[in-house]
């Protein structure tokens, strides 16, 4: 290797700087063979349980915790059993995802870590490194973790609404109602949401599911009850939140944080009614409940049928994605407000290539119309890419059914883009996260200069420092060697070389589409010759 060349990288600096603390085995372990991502694979989980208790450790008191959010029947003094300090011998715990954990403190299944800073000792104690991360490095790590979102939910409809007739392959009756191991019926997630909320107090007729597992994350509230009103809890000195912990009878650990529920599909795969499984651990902190349908069908929950179990299962699968009812600070409503969720609209990533408008099927046209409607409502971003006039072009929807192109002052309506699609000029529409459509569609380096404008001015759309440059002379095509090598001047050699290309009808002679702008059109015609002669006459 003689030198390295840097390429454009749109990755945010928080990710570039902080990701090494998750992935770098050499930096973060004693033997150079393990990192946080060894278990938190891709910042998520390995679907295993680990027994990481420390026999030499000390009991940890319950300090600065939101115990039962002061709710009757859940709070200290009213809970059964009473809250207990954290034992260093915590038993098996399944790996938790690192998606959207910042601002959802405390951490761990038990809530025994007040913030990400409390994990610094794990680099030595768990990974065998010879030193912990510094405060600066832990902040870098936190900034990186704060960037990890939940992806689009494949169980939701294209408009991000909940499904009403969701097939549930891999989910089975538990035996509470129908025969154990037989498939569950299709689930209605809208009805599942309805019985999740206070209209049905599924938890022994005392609480609703949402009383503890708030929307839209499923985690506990960052509120405490004062009188009959839920009051927000101020963040701690390092910005840490105070999501609720509860006491759990029958658990191997009594004091437990209310867990979020946005990755139920990823935790599925184990079912005790089946011979073949894709996972060896299920739900709860130790993975001891095999399936989500088993959990919602436990006797403590007052579901009335396998259909209600199916409806709740469908809702839990479709949980992530937000767009769920807001809670209330009225303590008697049994539906506390939840913290916001970093997730994505279900349409994000959907893509369709239009060969021609006439070739679109009814389903494809409906899908496109839905994407445009969602973008018009500012729920997603929408971009279009394709070759127009023989050159790559980009578009981003910036106002109702109107796309800004990658040239300043040029817009196209949705109808115009569809009409422009043709074989060789196909257009691909892509749904992207809201507020990313400009970068992904028309201004790659986010320097305020649109991509095609930069190319027209011989700039670099992948370098925010180069918006324009010195354009090559279109008439300078050969240095007299007949190899098509420009030499910085315009001479008879250039004319002779171009005429040879034109006579042969090859691609090198395709220099204009008749517009006089130097835009190739995929063919060699008299327009190309006239354009070249004009440039030759002008000396460039």
So where are the chain's domains? 13-61+87-145, 351-456, 472-540
Count Cβ atoms below 10 Å from residue 234 Cβ, excluding itself.
8
User: Residue 212: what pLDDT?
Assistant: 97
Position 46 scores a pLDDT of: 96
Q: Count CB-CB contacts under 10 A for residue 64.
A: 12
How does DSSP classify residue 426? -
Q: Supply the DSSP symbol for 480.
A: S
What sign has the CA pseudo-torsion 515, 521, 523, 528? positive
pLDDT (0 to 100) of residue 450 = 97
pLDDT given for residue 467 in this prediction: 87
Strands 381-388 and 427-432: antiparallel
pLDDT score recorded for residue 458: 86
d(CA 430, CA 417): 13
Question: How many angstroms separate the CA atoms of 214 and 222, rounded?
Answer: 10
Element (H, E) at 354: strand 351-354
pTM of the entire predicted model: 0.89
d(CA 216, CA 342): 10
Please state, in angstroms and rounded to a whole number, the distance separating the CA atoms of residues 496 and 129: 69
Q: What is the pLDDT of residues 130-147, one digit of tens each?
A: 999 999 999 999 999 999
The segments of the chain whose pLDDT lies below 50 read none
Checking phi first, is residue 301 left (phi over 0); if not, alpha (psi -120 to 50) or beta? beta
Superfamily of 13-61+87-145 according to CATH: Cytochrome c-like domain (1.10.760.10)
Other CB atoms within 10 Å distance of the CB of residue 453: 20
382-to-44, 148, 373, 447 alpha-carbon distances in Å: 28, 22, 10, 20
């Amino acid at each position: 290797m003689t030198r390295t060349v840097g390429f454009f990288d749109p990755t945010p600096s928080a990710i570039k700087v902080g990701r090494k603390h998750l992935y770098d085995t050499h930096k973060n372990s004693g033997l150079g063979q393990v990192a946080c991502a060894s278990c938190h694979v891709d910042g998520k989980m390995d679907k295993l349980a680990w027994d990481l208790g420390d026999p030499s450790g000390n009991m940890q008191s319950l300090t600065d915790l939101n115990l039962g959010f002061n709710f009757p029947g859940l709070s200290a003094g009213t809970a059964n059993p009473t809250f207990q300090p954290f034992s260093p011998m915590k038993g098996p715990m399944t790996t938790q995802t690192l998606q959207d954990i910042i601002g959802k403190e405390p951490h761990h299944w038990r809530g025994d870590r007040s913030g990400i800073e409390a994990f610094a000792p794990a680099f030595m104690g768990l990974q065998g490194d010879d030193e912990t991360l510094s405060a600066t490095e832990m902040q870098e790590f936190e900034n990186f973790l704060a960037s990890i979102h939940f992806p689009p939910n494949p169980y939701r409809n294209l408009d991000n609404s909940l499904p009403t007739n969701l097939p549930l392959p891999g989910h089975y009756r538990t035996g509470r109602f129908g025969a154990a191991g037989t498939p569950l019926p299709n689930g209605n997630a809208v009805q599942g949401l309805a019985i999740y909320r206070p209209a049905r107090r599924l938890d022994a007729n005392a609480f609703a599911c949402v009383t503890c597992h708030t929307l839209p994350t499923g985690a506990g509230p960052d509120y405490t009850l004062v009188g009959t009103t839920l009051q927000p809890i101020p963040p701690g000195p390092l910005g840490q939140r105070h999501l609720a912990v509860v006491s759990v009878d029958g658990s191997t650990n009594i004091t437990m944080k209310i867990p979020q529920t946005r990755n139920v599909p990823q935790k599925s795969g184990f079912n005790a009614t089946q011979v073949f499984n894709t996972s060896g651990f299920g739900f709860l902190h130790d993975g001891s409940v095999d399936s989500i349908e088993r959990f919602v069908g436990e006797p403590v929950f007052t579901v009335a049928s396998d259909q209600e179990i199916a409806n709740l299962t469908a809702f839990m699968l479709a949980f992530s994605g937000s767009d769920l009812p807001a809670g209330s600070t009225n303590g008697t409503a049994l539906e506390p407000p939840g913290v916001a969720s970093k997730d994505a609209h279900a349409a994000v990533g959907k893509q369709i290539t239009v060969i021609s408008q006439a070739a679109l099927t009814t389903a494809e046209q409906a899908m496109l119309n839905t994407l445009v409607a969602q973008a018009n409502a500012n729920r997603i971003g929408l971009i279009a890419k394709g070759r127009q006039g023989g050159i790559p072009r980009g578009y981003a929807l910036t106002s109702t059914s109107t796309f800004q192109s990658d040239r300043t002052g040029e817009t196209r309506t949705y109808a115009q883009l569809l009409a422009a699609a043709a074989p060789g000029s196909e257009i691909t529409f892509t749904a992207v996260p809201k507020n990313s459509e400009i970068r992904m569609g028309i201004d790659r380096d986010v320097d305020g200069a649109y991509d095609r404008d930069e190319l027209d001015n011989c700039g670099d759309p992948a370098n925010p420092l180069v918006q324009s440059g010195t354009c090559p002379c279109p008439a300078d095509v050969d240095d007299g060697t007949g190899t098509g090598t420009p030499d910085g001047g315009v001479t008879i050699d250039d004319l002779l070389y171009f005429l040879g290309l034109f006579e042969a009808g090859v691609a090198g002679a395709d220099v204009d589409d008749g517009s006089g702008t130097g835009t190739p059109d995929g063919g060699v015609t008299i327009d190309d010759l006239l354009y070249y002669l004009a440039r030759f006459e002008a000396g460039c």
